[in-house]
Chains A and B, each alone.
Chain A
Amino acid sequence: DGGITQSPKYLFRKEGQNVTLSCEQNLNHDAMYWYRQDPGQGLRLIYYSQIVNDFQKGDIAEGYSVSREKKESFPLTVTSAQKNPTAFYLCASSTPGQGDTGELFFGEGSRLTVL
């Protein structure tokens, strides 16, 4: 089935450790995104990539890093510089200008807890 796979679903880490969240898509979409979801704050854009080997900062990029070496993959690293990393992280993909919808397709998310 086509879709977006995020792993791991749950992750615990100690303060000061970096952690990498995986996002893989087999939808042949050009664009991929990382959002952070916190209660009462909606979804906030961390990074996005519209094409392989290129990515841009979103609204809350500080303390995060990404890479886009393959069309299918867009991993997110939460670094020790991120002051409040505990959150639900969502990866999404889309084909820019797809039809009339501009629809984002989301994965099921990764819940990161910093102990």
Chain B
Amino acid sequence: QQQVKQSPQSLIVQKGGISIINCAYENTAFDYFPWYQQFPGKGPALLIAIRPDVSEKKEGRFTISFNKSAKQFSLHIMDSQPGDSATYFCAASTGGGNKLTFGTGTQLKVEL
């Protein structure tokens, strides 16, 4: 049973464009929603995270938008750069804890 659904599976964006990755969850007990970034051959690393008491969180070019009623959250990468090319995973957990349920990942490629 997949509790966090992520789309699209892959995404190609032109340099300077906006990359948007979406996730939807089923478990209303989830209360912590991080995004992880993974480069080839490496482990994932935390990029940005949000809790459901806010609808948006921005860190530099990266923004999480959160819609509690729709049980959806998304990652927006503004002014996408070739160095942003990586696989992005959304995740969720309960109790603000570390036992994360991950989405299936989105492979982003930013072209010149």
Contact = CB atoms under 8 A, between A and B. Distances in A.
A103 B43 contact: no
Contacts of B97: 96-97, 102
| Residue in A41, A44, A101, A102 whose Cβ sees the most chain B Cβ within 10 Å | A102
Interface in B57-112: 89, 93, 96-105
B89 A103 contact: no
Main secondary structure of the interface of B (DSSP, over half): loop
**Size class of the A contact interface (CB-based, 8 Å):** 20 to 34
A51 interface: no
B12 interface: no
A107 B38 CA distance: 11
Interface in A6-22: none
Nearest to B98: A94
Given A102-B97, A104-B98, A90 B43 contact: yes
A66 to B, nearest CB: 15
| Residue in A4, A44, A103, A104 whose Cβ sees the most chain B Cβ within 10 Å | A104
Interface of B: 6, 9, 32, 34, 36, 41-46, 49, 51, 89, 93, 96-105
Given A97-B96, A102-B98, A104-B98, 5 more contacts: A4-B43, A96-B98, A103-B49, A104-B36, A104-B46
